[in-house]
Chain A
Amino acid sequence: MSTRRQVLQWGGLAGGVSLVAGCGFSGNKPNGTGGDDGGGGSSTLTIEGPVLPTLDPQVISNGMWMVNRGLIEGMLMQTDDGTDVQPASAESWDVSDDGRVYTFHLREANWSDGSPVTADDFMFAYERLLEPKSSGAGVTLGANSYVSSLGIKNALQFQQGIVEDWAEVGVKAPDEKTIEITLETPNQGFLMGMTHASMCPLPKKVLEEHEAEWELPENIITNGPFTVEATQTNVSMTLVKNPEYWDADNVDLDQINYRMNDGTATPTLVPFENGEVDIMSVGDAAMLLRFQNEPELQGKLHSAKPGSIYYLALLHSKNETLSDIRIRQALSLAMGRDTAAKSVPLVEPTTSLVPQSVAGWDESVTNPEDIDKAKQLLADAGYPDGKGLPTITILNGGNPSPMITTIMSNWETNLGIKVANDAVESGVYVQKRSALNDANYIGFYFGSFAAELNWSKWVGSLWSPTFTKPFSLSAKDYQEYLDLQKSDLKPAELTKQLNEIADERCSDEVKQFAELTDKASKTVDPDEATEAFKIAAKAREDCFIFLPIAQGSYHFAVNERVTGFHPRPTGDQYYYKTLGVK
């Protein structure tokens, strides 16, 4: 027995030692991520950001923003403040007189392995993006939805299977260095839309050879200022300067240590205060307050222009009380946005679904609050002092923002109505947002959007007419709409039939919004288009289906030694190319 026991003992010990020995420090070990040297060497920065499960720019994840930030360069980039575009992989471009055909001239540039970037790499990427089955090799998860805002001829139809021949899509490569894109109608947001990650080229030969594994450090090649040297999934990524980059002379940094932090653990500024991290995004309210209150952190918080909108959107319900527009308008006019916005640091109240930083924005696209009018509207709808109105629910995923609880109390005080909060897990949230909810469940869901600052994006793409129409269907029609979604129809036919229901049976206000948006989209002159979009935006506000609450920005803690940090309101937030060290 004693021998057996000894065998067990030694076996256990040996097992333990071998486990510890195999704990995986080796392999893709990033350099300099420790806290010893204040963020690395003289031309190295350490940046903390979200976890990147993939680097595919055509898969909706935080990875696509990393690609855009400094790995793969599309034809255009945004200017430092994010209000206009500048040349990137394309040296120049021409626009036809009717504003529908854009011809991009690619510059002489190489991938990081020295091979040339050609029109073929762009064509390959675009076909992969728009492929109806979202590509056989790898999956372009949902990023193709962004393309709808570009208005490329037949792109949506190809994606939906209505057009089957790729040659009919308005993307052509007349030669190795030219890309020609034809639009359905002129689109003032087109060039800005081309700065999105999903419009980046992809190294065709690498994707064909390695398929889904093309993005692993040993396989990936890039045409941007940096390339990937090493990755530790969920933990870190090491980027090094790409000597083959066409503008490498203007890239100051040699290396970026990217630390991933998924944000679910206790948010803390400790790594920033220690000097371990040079740039980190800050979203937590308590952390933001510290920048306002603590002298040693003053001046270290940098913010982009406001480019995101927090909103409430109407929930579908078998109880049609909220289909009375007067009630929705009353709720909007008595929301108490000032106090709601104050409940979260660095957020401003707004009564517009378009951020105020969009050029040409003015008060004409707003519906200012008016509690007396709200009370009158509620009384006119048959609920004087809120009496008899069923409980209004605000649905949200995860913990409710203080904004939600403040709005709840404001509605109760201002209108005398009952309000409930339904804070649920993300999956339940997704389901309830699109479901036809039971008769005892009416109200709104809470959400937020961020996008580039132009009218066609914020009116024609976000809360677009196509997206808005189903919200105004009656309970019966929406049930039919949902049933149709579950049918076995082919995608093209399904889309057609769904659109028919939405187009014909949506409310008159939404129909008007759709017509005005369509008119704005077809306007060639930029100034006239802006005015037309503003009229459409006001028409959307007057539907009271989506109620704006506040506008917010991205915030970053930035070490004083960092130079060239230019935050922008779009998802990629800032470019790595301009970063440097004092």
Chain B
Amino acid sequence: MVRFTVHRLVRAIITLVMVSLLTFVLLQLAPGNFADLSAITSGATMTAQGQRDEVMSSFTARYGDQVPAWQQYLIFMKGAVTWDMGPSYKYPSLTVEGIIAGAFPVSATIAVLAVALALLVAVPIGVLAARRRNGWLDNLLMFLVTIGNSVPNYLMGAFLLIILVGRLNLLPSGGWDGPLNMVMPVIALAIGPMAVLARYVRSAVIETLREEYVTTAIAKGGPGRTIMVRHVLRNSLIPVVTVVGPIVASLMAGTVFIETMFRIPGLGQYFTGAATSRDMPLLMGTTLFFAALLVITNVVVDVSYGILDPRTRMERRPA
């Protein structure tokens, strides 16, 4: 188990280094720099090219005056490892680590709540559909699931905004002042995972229902509900665990539309804003953070899966 975990961790570190290198190289190759883009997006474009170069060199001063790109990379990575990545270009009064520390809990909350809501709805739907397999209820539920899977979260967000706020005036349209602000973003984000998870639960339950121990339990004459919950559902959820982890992690990274639509101070806005404005420290910092989040989630899932089901451990001792 220890060797298994160490092996996964080493691979995780290699992945992170590769991600950081790729991000840095792509950013170097991308056209335009922070000074050029700021001048454009704020409508002030009369700055002479020479002056913009000056401005850019004052930004990169933290990374040494006129140092080659590979040195900038190393200096940034040192900062990343020591959790001291310096100020963002776009938000000069905030450090990259400060931005991540402040915004991540917000994104994470929305993501965790959305997945929790998705699970609450998806598990009963999946079980019901599996038990009524190929019946009209199954077909109806799976039809709804397909629709849920096809509607992008920002469209769902816009629907909710128009109906719950525009028509019914039940909720504040956005902001981050209290639990009411979470309702619409959480629902909008939950729809997609809900559909995915319902499908997973359905097929897992169908699969488990075919297992011999279920047949045995039924033959023993146990009550249907107990068999369903204790034998079928519990074992069916093992494959679902592997899907939930990455869904949570990707939701934490990918909620930019929802965050801007509902004015939520999460990481997604910083992440995409850093890419479009070529804010090197912030983009590198947030990308690495998200990559680490995904990698760690996968390691945790792998390890926990190994614990839950010893058959899946990668390295088997010789028989």
Chain B window 258-284, contacts with chain A (Cβ cutoff 8 Å), 1 for yes, 0 for no: 001101110001100100101000000
CB closest residue in chain B, given A219: B93
CA distance A146 to B55 in the complex (A): 14
Inter-chain CA distance A338–B166, complex, in Å, is 36
Q: Chain B nearest CB: distance from A8 CB in Å?
A: 6
Query: Please, how many angstroms separate the alpha-carbon atoms of A495 and B50 in the complex?
Result: 7
Q: How far is the CA of A259 from the CA of B38 in the complex (A)?
A: 21
Give Cα distance in the complex from A427 to B28, angstroms: 12
Partner of A447, one of B45, B53, B176: B45
- Closest Cβ–Cβ distance, residue B231 to chain A (whole Å): 14
| B30 contacts chain A at the CB level, 8 A cutoff | yes
Distance (whole angstroms) from the CB of A382 to the closest CB of chain B: 34
Query: Is the pair B173, A23 in contact by a Cβ cutoff of 8 Å?
Result: no
Q: Is the CB of A139 within 8 A of B51?
A: no
**Across the interface, which residues of B come within 8 angstroms of A264, CB to CB?**
257, 260
Instruction: Determine if B48 and A34 form an interchain contact, defined as CB atoms under 8 angstroms apart.
Output: no
Q: Are A142 and B93 in touch, CB under 8 angstroms?
A: no
B94 within 8 A of A: yes
In the bound complex, residues from chain A placing their C-beta under 8 Å from that of B82 are none
Interface string of A133-156 (1 = CB under 8 A from B): 111001101111110100000000
| Given known A-B contacts A20-B112, A494-B50, A233 and B94 have beta carbons under 8 A apart | yes
Complex alpha-carbon distance, A95 and B236, angstroms: 85
Contacts of B180 in A (CB 8 A): 34
Report the separation of the CA atoms of residues A53 and B58 in the bound assembly, to the nearest whole angstrom. 19
A187 part of interface (Cβ distance < 8 Å): no
CA distance A309 to B261 in the complex (A): 30
Q: Are A35's CB and B172's CB within 8 A? A: yes
- Check A145/B51 contact, CB under 8 A, given A4-B307, A134-B58, A266-B154: yes
- A464 CB to closest chain B CB (Å) equals 7
Q: Which of these binds chain A: B6-14, B103-111, B220-228? A: B103-111
Say if the beta carbon of B31 comes within 8 Å of chain A.
yes
Distance in Å: Cβ of B289 to nearest Cβ of chain A: 15
**Which of the 9-residue segments B84-92, B121-129, B190-198, B203-211 touches chain A?**
B84-92
B47-A145 in contact (CB<8A): yes
Q: Could you tell me if A450 and B43 are in contact, using CB atoms closer than 8 angstroms?
A: yes
Find chain B residues with CB under 8 A from A426 CB: 32, 37, 40-41, 276
Question: B178: shortest Cβ distance to chain A, in Å?
Answer: 6
Cβ-defined partner of A216 (8 Å) among B48, B93, B171: B93
Q: Is the CB of A5 within 8 A of B105?
A: no
CB A142 to nearest CB in B, in angstroms, measures 5
- The answer to whether A139 touches B55 (Cβ under 8 A) is yes
Q: How distant is A545 from chain B, measured CB to nearest CB, in Å? A: 15
Residue of B40, B52, B103, B261 touching A265 (CB-CB under 8 A): B261
**Measured between C-beta atoms, what is the minimum distance from B106 to chain A in Å?**
5
Q: Cβ of B36: which chain A residues have Cβ within 8 Å of it?
A: 427, 430-431
Q: Which of A230-278 contact B (CB under 8 A)?
A: 232-236, 259-262, 264-266, 268, 270-271, 273-274, 276
CB neighbours of B176 from chain A (8 A): 24-25, 232, 235-236
Measured between alpha carbons, how far is A145 from B48 in the docked complex, in Å?
Answer: 8
The yes or no answer to A351 lying at the interface (CB within 8 A) is: no
The stretch that binds B, out of A56-64, A108-116, A510-518, is A56-64
Residues of B within 8 A of A22 (CB): 105, 109
Assess whether B175 is in contact with A259, with CB atoms less than 8 Å apart.
Answer: yes
A212 touches B87 (CB 8 A): yes
Bound form: Cα–Cα A440–B278 in Å: 29
Q: Which of B45, B109, B174, B304 contacts A8 (CB 8 A)?
A: B304
Are A24's CB and B93's CB within 8 A? no
- B177 touching A428, Cβ below 8 Å: no
Q: How far is the CB of B155 from the nearest CB of chain A, in Å?
A: 9
Which residues of A does B touch, CB under 8 Å? 1, 4-5, 8, 16, 19-20, 22-25, 29-30, 33-36, 53-56, 59-62, 132-135, 138-139, 141-146, 148, 159-160, 212-216, 232-236, 259-262, 264-266, 268, 270-271, 273-274, 276, 397, 425-432, 434, 447-450, 461-462, 464, 466-467, 485, 491, 494-495, 498, 571
Interface residues of B (CB under 8 A from A): 30-32, 35-55, 57-59, 61, 87, 90-94, 99, 102-103, 105-106, 108-109, 112-113, 116, 154, 157-158, 161-162, 165-166, 169, 171-178, 180, 257, 260-261, 263-265, 269-270, 273, 276, 278, 304, 307-308
> Can you sample 5 A-B contacts with CB below 8 Å?
A133-B58, A138-B92, A261-B260, A274-B166, A431-B31
